Structure formats: structure tokens, C-alpha cells
């Protein structure tokens, strides 16, 4: 494949000094990283061994404590058995009982620690070996001590004697043996650590030696190679400078023509690229034609053609950019037709573009492969050479076109019968023979004369205005010959480039004969008008271009419903009245056939709103020169005939169309229903099953022929077999059948033939003619979705609960430190603890929000409702947030209307704690996103049946897009103010859920940069009837969260 300039830049960059430096740095980093990895492994291993050693030490400490408790139990047992004082005996029994419990608990912990030791550990064998039965002896000792605790005092009790023996002789040697084993294991551990450290030191030295031999030595060799390559690049740069100067000399000389310059360019390119063959080609269809060639072997000649696919140039045209081949046989080019035909190993070519179109290629080739690859400088040079050739060819084509245009103009001016003059600044600089004849002055005398001399004073104003504005449409003036005679003339002018300047070419045509003919025609038309005004068809005449209506009879006003004067004023209204679907067809037929005449039927829109069919027959009117200069047409209203024809056709095809439509619609509907992954059933208003899809049969396990045609009331037994809460499902479906408006969604549980959770969607179905077909039921399997949601909620609740317990402990200890319980703290320590406390508070708030959200999603959030006056709650929230308001110097306005003495306060039936949470979330958000010195207002209003709380701020505001997502979970507005303010994105989502649980609603009105207003509306409690909770009623009077 060809190398592109990006590949060459990458190769060049790989050998640059920056790359070498990066590799040296990477080598040092590798060495340092290896040492670091070895050190980390050594440290980790050491920590692992020491961690095991700490377990053994804890075991030894527990072992020593057991020995002490053993002695305590023995002494307490003797005191219980020897004393006769009941009071002393009771105290001794309490001491004995506490010692027994402590020793039993410690023995369990000791057994757990022993179980973690490997089976070959001496300590494990000491405790678990049946031969020693260490744990069994301890348990026997504890059992005898418990019996003594519950036995009457007896100094000779046998258990007392056994306890003394075990405490003095049997168990202490075993405890001391455990201590000895621990000392021996510790000595072995220290020897192992010494061996490990020596091993890691040796591995480190070997790694350093390896990197020195295999990494740093190659990098030194690469640095030397970079220096050599830099010298080669400098030599290439000097060669490129020489070739650039040569290219400038060739392109700027005026002593060579275009082909000679191209030939010199090919010679220079062959010398620079060290390639013997250079070719400039031109594209001609699927062939390439040689324009110029430099070939020492004379195998190619100018004018020779060859297929485009047989040359590498085809790849240049496909890429639209230079193509480079260093060694064709050693690359993917060895299968190209050009290589198989010519055996060209090296190639560089670029497209030649003329006016944005690829016209050919410039390329150089060699049968020998490149000894050094092409560089990006070679790429740029071939592209520059191709660009110059393209621009030079463009210039030559432009000059040739200009010369051809001037020759055509001179020829046209000499043979036309109209007068043609060329003027600059109102002075004639050239004129044809017809102009001299027209004005009675030889053409050579016209040059240098002003154009205003050949018109009347009134005509000079029109001529001057046309010269000033560049007006290029025909206009009429009264022209004057050199002898003073006047004649009407039609003048048309246009500004053109003329010898590098802007001039105006003007044509003058004598229209004297035309005026006489027009006068005769007007007389004839007057006679014709009297005849045409008495026919029922519309007769009209216009110019061929329809830009002027010459005549229309009064029948136009009756058929079109428009006045004749409006048609004269706006000729386009004749065809604009045609309905859009026929208008373009009528105009196209007129443009194509007006010279031969035509007949067409189309519909027009009458001013009364009705559509009428019109049959128009148009005929050309030919002048003396044989040209069409007018169109005469007769338009007839054929609406009644067309309606009769349409009714006949409709009657013949109606049944066939209806049958085909119904059959196709039924097939398409069945295919769509059976392809759906959801259960679909259509029931008639009387409950009969009209259709079910394949998924219905799969989910419920019944064939379609057992369901279709049956009524819902006949399938109650099957519904009870399918669903849990079947009676409720049946009643809901039955009541919805007669409802032609309601759309409902339900969640049901399918019990058989397989347990599933299904979501039901039901909506009435209407035909296009507004006929009620029945009701559509769609059952969607949401079993997996519900399981995932439950797992997610349970996981969030579990993690949040597990995090909150240690976090509460952390906050408690931080508060103790800040309160000075552990002694005075330095100022910087207090600041650090305050930061930790602030972040712990934020984390606890996030955990509480997650718990609330998980409870809400799981439906486990319970509200403790009571009649509630929210005004004290609003004041309580405002007081709690006062420090935040003062910190930002914000002003809070409360508009809470007082209740008259004889009236009841505005109440709602809600949970005071959750309403407090709602108000705190909304008001804290207003404080957070309102700048310093801003203003916040809270207004309570009663708008039956609602009680509304509006929180308005002068903060950053919200865009319409942000308002749509502001109540989504974890959504936060992306701007600088929100990045500076902390938050989780859960507050407003929880707030909306809590408001929904109260059957309320929350809305936001905002404008970016102008602040926001959140409105929270709860159902207004108008009566306390039916509420018997005395505590709830008492809470109405206080209205505060306690």
C-alpha cells in the first residue's frame, strides 16, 4: 500500500532527538520501577509474616490470661467451699461466676485463633492434639468449677480437690509449654526474614545488571544512529532548497512556452528523485494520454494512450493525493497490473487539478527500488509541482476562452442587423456597421462621440439611469439620427469586461414597423373583443412567457371567480389558481408545446373554495417572421363531466379496492402482532376476543382457537387459573370494556403455567371513522426488570446501612476531639478536624438520601400522617438554616398569613418529619444557588383544593432543558456555580417522591440568570371529620416537628 505523509512523519519522529530522550527516560524509569517493585514485594512479604506473628502473639497473650484466670477460679472455689458466712459466700460465688464466664469466653476466642493456624504448627498440635487434650482439660476444669458454684459449701468436696490439682499441677505446664513453643517459632521467623532480605538484595543487583546490558546499551547505539540520520536529513534539505530554486527559475521565465516548462520540470524531477522516467498525463475517460514525457529508453511518446487501470496513476486518482511506492515487489503493490506489465519498482505521483477537477497526473518511476525511502519533503515537492502545472493549464484555458469570446463577439457584431455600440463612461469606443447605418454616421466617426447625442432630452434620462445602475432589460426611447429625424428604438445594454476594463455593450433596434403593425393589430383586436365577450368559454391571449395577459373575456370572472382586472395586474394568477398537483404539469406542457399548440385538463380553486375542472386548448399566433409571439386559448368548465366520470370509475373499482385493502391490512396486522415480544389481545365492547397474537398463546399456554370468539365473562375460570388476585384483574378488565376513553396501566402476577410479573397496558381502539372497535390489552413480562430493581434497592439499602454505623462512630469521636475530651488541640489540628467533620456530614447526608431513595423505590417508606399546620414548620426550617443565610449575607422573607382568631388554620394531612425534609431540601437549594447578598422569599397561599408553598430565589436560574431533568436522580446542573456547591443530585428527586406520597405536586418556574420559583402544593384538609387520633389533633396546635 502507498505510504502517506502521516506515515513518513511518524517514521521521522521515531528517530528524532525527543524520541531518543524519551526512551532514555523510560529506561531509567524502568530501572527505578523494577527496584520499587522488588522493594514492595519484600515489604509485603515481611508484613505478611509479621501479621502471622501478631496472631501468634495474641494467642500467647490469651494463653497467659487463661493461666491467671485459672488461678482466680481455684482461689474463688476454695473460698466458696471453706466459708460459713453466707454474705462472704455470696460474694465469693459472684467472683467465681464472673471468672468462669471470662475464662469460658476467652477459651472460645483462643480456640478460634488456634483454628487459623496451619495443622503443622506446633501450637496447633499442642491445643488440638488428642494426646494432650488441652482444650478438653480446660473444659473439664470449667465444668467442675460451675458445679462447685451451685453446690453447698464443703471443704472436702471431690470437685474442689480435682480443681486444686488441675490448677497447681496439670494445666500450668501446658500453658508454659505453649509459651516455649512461641519463643522457638519467633527465633525461626527472624532467621527466615534474614534469608529473605538477602535474596531480594541479590535479585535487585541482577535486575540492574540486566537493564544495563539489554536496555541502556541499545539506547546508546540508537542515539548514534539518530546523529547519522540527522546528517542525512540536512543533506536532503540542502538538495530540496536547490530544487526549489530551480523550480522557481523554470516557472518564472518568459522565454519558454508551457510545454518547454513542463519538459524542464520533468528533467529537474528525474534528477532530484534519481528516477529515469517522468510523465505528465491527461485523463480521457478510462484512458491516460501522455502530454509530456522524459524517458531515456524512448519507450513512451507524447500522444500515446494506455488503459488507466494498467498504471499506478489509477491509485493517485482514487486517493486524490500523492502516492509513494519505495519497493513494489516487497509490498502489496506486487499484485498491481502496472507492476506485472512494467516491473516498475519505485514510483511517486500526484494528481493535477484544474478548476477543482482532476485533469491528469504528474509522476516519476524507476525499475530499481529506492535505496532510501521517500521523505515528507519529496511528498511536498511532487504536490507543489502538480499544483503549478494545474494552475498553469487553468491560466492557458482561460486566455484561450477569452480570445475565442472576443472573436465570436466581433463576428456577431459584424453580421447582426441590430446596431451594436461599446461605450465607456458614456463615450462610444467601438460600433458595428449596422449602428452606423441606423444613425446615418460611418462607424469610424461614431468612435469618441457621446451616446446622449443620439436621443431626445427625454430619452437621455432613461439612458443615463441605465448606465448608472447597469440595467440589463430592454427599454424603449425615441432615438435621433445625425440628420435630426426621430424613430422609436428598443435598447438593451449590459456591462462586460473589455480589454481589462469594464465597458457597456448596447444593442439598438428600430421598432418603427413594429409600432405600425401593433396599431393595426389593436384595431383588429377591438373587433375581436366584441365577439369574444359574448361566449360562455373563457377566451384569453398572452405572451408566450405568460408574463403579460393581452386579453381575457368576462367569462373568466364567472369560471375563475376573479376579476379580469386582477388578471391583467397579476398575469401569474391565471396558473396560480391551478391546484398545486396540476400546476407544474400545466406549466411544463405550456413551455414545451406552446409553439405547436396543446390541450390539457386541470383543476382550479374557485374563490368560493370549490375545485373545478377546466379544459384548456391553446394555439400559437405567428408573426410575419414566423415566430410565435402570442398564445390564444379557450378554457371551458368541464366539472360536471369530470364528476360523472369519477363517480363511474369509483363505482367500478370500489369493491375491488376495499377487498384488497382489507386483505392486505389483515395480513400486515397479523404479521406485526405475531412478531411482537409482548402479549397482545383485542376485545370487542361486549368482551369477545377479536384477536390474539402468538405471544399470547406462548405465555398463557392456550391455542388461539380456544380463545377467539369467546367472551371475557366465559373465561373467568381460566383467569383465576392464570393470575394471582384474579378477581381484581377480571373486574378491572370487565369494567374497562365499556370505557371508550380511559387508558390504564396495572401490575399483575401470573401464577400458571409459569410464575411471572406482568405489566398491563390497556387503551380503547377506534377506527379512522371514529367507530369504537373495543379495547386493546398489552401484557409485558417485567419479571427480570422487577428482580433487578429489587436487588438494586436492597443492595443500596444494605451498603448505606453498613456505611452509616461506622460513620456515626467516626463523627462521635471527631466531636469528642473538637470538644476537648482528649485534651486541647492546636489550631491547625482543629481546622483539619473541622474539614473531616464537614466531609463526614456530607457523606452521612448522601447515605441518608440513598436510604430514603431505596425505601421509596421499594415502597417501604411509611408516612405518619396527622392534621398539620405547616407555618410553624416553615419558621422552624428557616431558623435551622439561618447560619447558612447569614454566612452568605442573604435575606429571607416569610409571607405566612396569620389566621384570624375565629377561623381554622390552613391544614394538610401529612407527615411532619417528611414535610420538614421537603422544606429543608428546597430552601437549602435556594440558599446554595443564590449568590452573596441575594434574596429568598417563602410564601404560603391557599388555592382550594390546594395549599401551596412557593420558594422564590434570585439565584442562577435554570434553562428549559435543565428544568425538564431537575427532578431526576443524580442530576446536577453543569455550570460553575453548581461545581462550587456540594450536592448529590438526590435532594430534589427525594423531594418529588415525598410530595407524590402526600398526593401533592411540585413544579419549577425559572429563567437562566433570573432565579427560580419552586411551588409545592399539598391537598388542603378542609375537615377533621373521621380523624380520631388525639395526639395528631394536638399536633395541629403546635405545628412543629418534635
- Residue 799's pLDDT is 66
CATH for 271: 3.30.450.40
Q: What average pLDDT score do residues 973-983 get?
A: 58
What is the predicted pLDDT for the residue at 946?
A: 92
Got the DSSP string for 162-198? HHHHIIIIIHHHHHHHHHHHHHHHHHHHHHHHHHHHH
970 located within any domain: yes
Grid cell of 461 as nine digits:
434620462
**Are 1016 and 882 contained in the same domain?**
yes
pLDDT above 70 as % of the chain: 79
Q: Are 298 and 290 in contact (CB under 8 A)?
A: no
- Residues 672 and 876: their CA atoms lie apart, in Å, by 60
Domain membership of residue 177 (yes or no) is yes
What are the cell numbers at 59? 494467642
- Give me the pLDDT at residue 1034, please: 37
In a domain, 631, yes or no: yes
Helix (H) or strand (E) holding 120: none
CB-count exposure of residue 480 (10 Å: 0-12, 13-18, 19+): middle
pLDDT of residue 448: 84
Q: What is the radius of gyration, based on Cα positions, of the chain?
A: 53
Asked if residue 1027 and residue 938 are part of one domain, the reply reads: yes
Query: What span, in angstroms and rounded, lies between the C-alpha atoms of 884 and 920?
Result: 12
- 682 lies in some domain: yes
DSSP 791-852: HHHHHHHHHHHHHHHHHHHHHHHHHHHHTTTT----HHHHHHHHHHHHHHHHHHHHHHHHHH
- pTM equals 0.33
pLDDT in tens, 270-298: 988 889 999 999 898 888 999 899 988 88
Last residue of a domain, one of 485, 510, 535: 510
The whole-number average pLDDT for the span 892-921 is: 82
Task: Give the C-alpha distances (Å, rounded to integers) separating 658 from 643, 651, 690, 768.
Answer: 21, 12, 21, 15
Residues 431 and 390 in one domain: no
- Cα–Cα distances (Å) from 516 to 487, 488, 519, 711, in that order, read 12, 11, 5, 92
Residue 557: which CATH number? 3.30.450.20
Minimum mean pLDDT range among 293-297, 597-601, 884-888, 904-908: 904-908
Per-residue pLDDT at 3 exceeds 50:
no
Same domain membership, residue 557 and residue 428: no
> Are residues 432 and 385 part of one domain?
no
pLDDT confidence bin for 618, thresholds 50/70/90? very high
CATH number, position 917 = 3.30.565.10
Residue 966 has pLDDT above 90, yes or no: no
> Residue 638 half-sphere exposure, CB side, CA atoms within 13 Å?
15
Name the burial class of residue 188, with classes exposed (0-12), middle (13-18) and buried (19+) by CB atoms within 10 angstroms of its CB.
exposed
- Look at residue 81 and tell me whether its pLDDT is greater than 80: no
Tell me the per-residue pLDDT of 239-260, one tens digit each, with 9 for 90 and over: 666 676 767 667 667 777 878 8
Write a three-state SS string for 922-942: HHHHHHHCCCCCCEEEEEEEE
* Selected residue with higher pLDDT from 415 and 496: 496
Q: At what angle do helices 17-82 and 5-14 cross, to 10 degrees?
A: 70
Q: Which of 207-216, 536-545, 770-779, 917-926 has the lowest mean pLDDT?
A: 207-216
What is the spatial distance between Cα 929 and Cα 1012, in angstroms, rounded to a whole number? 10
393, 354 Cβ separation under 8 angstroms: yes
Report, as an integer, the average pLDDT of 567-575.
Answer: 89
Residue 919 belongs to a domain: yes
Residue 914 has pLDDT above 80, yes or no: yes
Q: How many CA atoms lie within 13 A of 601 on its CB side?
A: 8
Is residue 80 over pLDDT 70? Answer: yes
| Side-by-side strand order, sheet with 744-750 | 689-692, 679-683, 772-781, 756-766, 744-750
One domain for residues 871 and 1019: yes
Say if residue 81 is in the same domain as residue 142: yes
Range of the domain at 870: 863-1038
Stated as kind and residue range, the H or E segment containing 750 is strand 744-750
Question: What's the mean pLDDT in 44-55?
Answer: 66
d(CA 231, CA 229): 5
> What pLDDT, on a 0 to 100 scale, did the predictor assign at position 503?
85
Q: Look at residue 813 and tell me if it is in a domain.
A: no
Are 423 and 397 members of one domain? no
User: pLDDT-based confidence at 1042, cuts 50/70/90?
Assistant: very low
Average of per-residue pLDDT values in the chain: 79
At 807-818, the pLDDT tens digits run 777 877 787 887
**Domain termination residue (choose one: 376, 401, 426):** 401
pLDDT of residue 1035: 42
Whether residue 802 is predicted with pLDDT greater than 70 in this model: the reply is no
- Looking up residue 153, the CATH number of its domain turns out to be 1.20.120
Confirm if 616 and 600 have CB atoms less than 8 A apart. yes
**Per the structure, how many domains does the chain have?**
6
Among 323-332, 399-408, 600-609, 939-948, the range scoring the smallest mean pLDDT is: 399-408
Query: For cell 532530484, what's the residue?
Result: 272
Grid coordinates representing 887?
A: 454566612
Q: pLDDT tens digit string along 100-151?
A: 887 777 777 777 777 777 776 666 666 666 555 667 777 777 787 787 777 7
**Per-residue confidence (pLDDT) for residue 59, from 0 to 100:** 67
In a domain, 2, yes or no: no
Residues 205, 299 within the same domain = no
What is the crossing angle of helices 987-997 and 912-928, to 10°? 150
Over residues 385-441, the pLDDT tens digits come to 888 888 888 888 877 776 776 666 666 666 667 888 888 888 888 888 888 888 888
Same domain, 330 and 367: yes
71 and 119 in a single domain? The answer is yes
Assess whether 63 and 136 both reside in one domain.
Answer: yes
Strand partners, 287: 284, 307
Q: Are strands 891-895 and 935-943 parallel, antiparallel or unpaired?
A: parallel
Would you say residue 841 lies in a domain? no
Residue 389 has a CB neighbour count (10 Å cut-off) of: 26
Given 581, 606, 637, the domain boundary residue is 637
Is the preceding peptide bond at 753 cis, omega within 30 degrees of 0?
A: yes
Contact of 599 with 615, CB cutoff 8 Å: yes
The pLDDT of residue 13 is 39
**Total residues belonging to the chain:** 1042
Amino acid at each position: 500500500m502507498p505510504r502517506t505523509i502521516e506515515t513518513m512523519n511518524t517514521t521521522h519522529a521515531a528517530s528524532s532527538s525527543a524520541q531518543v530522550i524519551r526512551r532514555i527516560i523510560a529506561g531509567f524509569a524502568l530501572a527505578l520501577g523494577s527496584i520499587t517493585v522488588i522493594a514492595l514485594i519484600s515489604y509485603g512479604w515481611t508484613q505478611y509474616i509479621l501479621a502471622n506473628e501478631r496472631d501468634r502473639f495474641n494467642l500467647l497473650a490469651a494463653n497467659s490470661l487463661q493461666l491467671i484466670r485459672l488461678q482466680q477460679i481455684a482461689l474463688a472455689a476454695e473460698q466458696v467451699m471453706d466459708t460459713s458466712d453466707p454474705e462472704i459466700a455470696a460474694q465469693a460465688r459472684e467472683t467465681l461466676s464472673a471468672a468462669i464466664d471470662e475464662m469460658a469466653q476467652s477459651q472460645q476466642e483462643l480456640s478460634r485463633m488456634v483454628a487459623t493456624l496451619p495443622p503443622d504448627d506446633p501450637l496447633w498440635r499442642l491445643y488440638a492434639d488428642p494426646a494432650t487434650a488441652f482444650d478438653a482439660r480446660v473444659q473439664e476444669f470449667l465444668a467442675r468449677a460451675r458445679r462447685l458454684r451451685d453446690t453447698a459449701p464443703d471443704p472436702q468436696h471431690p470437685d474442689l480437690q480435682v480443681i486444686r490439682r488441675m490448677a497447681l499441677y496439670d494445666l500450668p505446664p501446658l500453658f508454659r509449654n505453649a509459651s516455649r513453643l512461641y519463643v522457638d517459632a519467633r527465633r525461626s521467623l527472624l532467621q527466615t526474614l534474614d534469608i529473605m532480605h538477602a535474596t531480594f538484595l541479590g535479585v535487585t543487583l541482577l535486575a540492574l545488571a540486566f537493564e544495563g546490558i539489554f536496555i541502556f546499551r541499545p539506547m546508546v547505539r540508537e542515539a548514534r544512529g539518530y546523529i547519522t540520520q540527522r546528517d542525512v536529513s540536512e543533506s536532503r534539505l540542502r538538495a530540496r532548497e536547490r530544487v526549489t530554486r530551480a523550480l522557481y527559475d523554470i516557472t518564472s521565465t518568459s522565454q519558454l512556452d508551457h510545454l518547454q516548462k513542463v519538459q524542464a520540470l520533468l528533467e529537474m524531477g528525474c534528477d532530484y528523485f534519481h528516477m529515469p522516467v517522468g510523465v505528465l498525463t491527461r485523463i480521457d475517460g478510462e484512458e491516460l494520454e501522455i502530454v509530456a514525457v522524459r524517458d531515456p529508453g524512448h519507450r513512451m511518446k507524447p500522444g500515446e494512450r494506455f488503459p488507466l487501470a494498467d498504471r499506478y496513476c489509477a491509485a493517485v486518482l482514487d486517493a486524490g493525493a500523492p502516492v509513494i511506492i519505495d519497493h513494489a515487489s516487497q509490498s502489496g503493490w506486487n499484485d498491481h497490473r502496472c507492476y506485472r506489465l512494467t516491473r516498475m519498482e519505485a514510483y511517486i505521483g500526484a494528481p493535477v487539478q484544474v478548476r477543482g477537477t482532476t485533469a491528469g497526473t504528474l509522476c516519476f518511476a524507476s525499475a530499481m527500488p529506492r535505496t532510501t525511502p521517500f521523505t515528507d519533503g519529496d511528498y511536498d515537492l511532487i504536490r507543489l509541482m502538480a499544483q503549478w502545472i494545474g494552475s498553469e493549464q487553468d491560466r492557458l484555458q482561460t486566455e484561450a476562452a477569452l480570445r475565442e469570446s472576443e472573436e465570436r463577439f466581433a463576428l456577431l457584431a459584424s453580421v447582426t442587423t441590430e446596431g451594436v455600440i461599446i461605450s465607456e463612461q458614456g463615450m462610444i469606443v467601438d460600433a458595428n456597421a449596422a449602428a452606423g447605418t441606423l444613425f446615418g454616421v460611418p462607424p469610424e466617426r461614431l468612435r469618441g462621440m457621446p451616446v446622449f447625442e443620439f436621443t431626445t432630452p427625454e430619452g437621455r434620462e432613461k439612458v443615463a439611469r441605465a448606465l448608472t445602475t447597469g440595467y440589463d432589460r430592454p427599454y424603449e426611447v425615441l432615438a435621433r439620427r445625425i440628420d435630426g429625424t426621430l424613430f422609436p428604438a428598443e435598447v438593451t445594454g449590459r456591462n462586460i469586461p473589455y480589454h481589462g476594463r469594464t465597458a457597456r455593450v448596447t444593442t439598438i433596434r428600430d421598432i418603427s414597423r413594429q409600432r405600425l403593425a401593433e396599431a393595426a393589430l389593436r384595431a383588429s383586436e377591438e373587433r375581436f373583443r366584441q365577439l369574444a365577450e359574448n361566449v360562455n368559454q373563457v377566451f384569453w391571449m398572452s405572451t408566450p412567457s405568460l408574463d403579460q395577459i393581452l386579453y381575457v373575456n368576462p367569462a373568466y370572472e364567472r369560471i375563475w371567480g376573479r376579476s379580469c382586472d386582477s388578471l391583467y395586474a397579476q398575469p401569474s394568477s391565471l396558473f396560480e389558481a391551478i391546484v398545486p398537483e396540476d400546476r407544474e404539469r400545466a406549466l411544463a406542457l405550456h413551455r414545451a408545446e406552446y409553439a405547436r399548440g396543446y390541450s390539457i385538463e386541470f383543476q382550479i380553486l374557485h374563490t368560493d373554495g370549490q375545485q373545478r375542472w377546466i379544459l384548456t386548448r391553446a394555439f400559437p399566433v405567428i408573426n410575419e417572421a414566423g415566430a410565435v409571439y402570442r398564445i390564444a386559448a379557450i378554457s371551458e368548465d368541464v366539472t360536471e363531466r369530470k364528476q360523472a366520470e369519477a363517480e363511474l370509475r369509483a363505482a367500478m373499482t370500489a369493491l375491488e379496492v376495499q377487498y384488497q385493502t382489507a386483505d392486505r391490512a389483515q395480513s400486515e396486522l397479523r404479521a406485526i402482532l405475531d412478531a411482537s415480544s409482548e402479549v397482545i389481545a383485542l376485545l370487542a365492547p361486549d368482551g369477545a376476543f377479536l384477536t390474539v397474537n402468538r405471544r399470547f398463546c406462548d405465555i398463557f399456554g392456550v391455542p388461539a382457537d380456544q380463545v377467539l370468539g369467546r367472551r371475557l365473562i366465559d373465561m373467568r375460570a381460566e383467569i383465576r387459573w392464570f393470575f394471582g388476585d384474579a378477581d381484581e384483574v377480571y373486574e378491572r378488565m370487565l369494567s374497562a370494556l365499556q370505557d371508550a376513553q380511559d387508558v390504564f396501566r396495572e401490575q399483575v402476577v401470573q401464577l400458571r403455567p409459569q410464575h411471572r410479573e406482568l405489566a398491563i397496558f390497556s387503551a380503547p381502539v377506534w377506527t379512522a371513522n371514529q367507530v369504537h372497535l373495543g379495547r386493546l390489552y398489552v401484557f409485558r413480562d417485567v419479571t427480570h426488570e422487577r428482580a433487578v430493581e429489587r436487588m438494586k434497592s436492597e443492595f443500596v439499602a444494605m451498603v448505606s446501612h453498613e456505611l452509616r454505623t461506622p460513620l456515626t462512630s467516626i463523627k462521635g469521636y471527631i466531636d469528642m476531639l473538637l470538644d476537648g475530651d482528649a485534651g486541647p488541640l492546636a489550631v491547625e489540628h482543629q481546622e483539619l478536624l473541622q474539614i473531616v467533620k464537614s466531609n463526614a456530614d456530607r457523606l452521612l447526608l448522601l447515605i441518608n438520601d440513598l436510604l430514603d431513595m431505596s425505601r421509596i423505590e421499594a415502597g417501604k417508606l411509611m408516612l405518619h400522617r396527622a392534621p398539620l399546620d405547616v407555618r410553624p414548620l416553615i419558621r422552624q426550617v428557616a431558623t435551622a438554616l439561618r447560619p447558612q443565610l447569614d454566612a452568605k449575607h442573604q435575606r429571607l422573607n416569610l409571607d405566612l398569613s396569620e389566621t384570624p382568631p375565629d377561623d381554622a388554620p390552613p391544614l394538610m394531612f401529612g407527615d411532619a418529619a417528611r414535610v420538614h425534609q421537603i422544606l429543608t431540601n428546597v430552601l437549602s437549594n435556594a440558599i446554595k444557588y443564590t449568590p452573596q447578598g441575594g434574596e429568598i422569599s417563602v410564601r404560603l397561599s391557599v388555592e382550594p383544593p390546594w395549599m401551596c408553598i412557593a420558594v422564590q430565589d434570585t439565584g442562577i436560574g435554570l434553562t428549559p432543558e435543565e428544568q425538564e431533568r431537575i427532578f431526576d436522580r443524580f442530576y446536577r446542573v453543569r455550570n460553575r456555580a453548581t461545581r462550587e456547591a456540594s450536592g448529590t443530585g438526590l435532594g430534589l428527586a427525594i423531594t418529588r417522591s415525598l410530595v407524590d406520597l402526600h398526593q401533592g405536586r411540585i413544579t419549577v418556574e425559572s429563567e437562566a440568570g433570573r432565579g427560580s420559583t419552586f411551588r409545592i402544593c399539598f391537598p388542603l384538609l378542609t375537615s377533621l371529620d373521621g380523624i380520631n387520633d388525639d395526639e395528631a389533633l394536638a399536633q395541629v396546635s403546635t405545628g412543629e416537628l418534635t
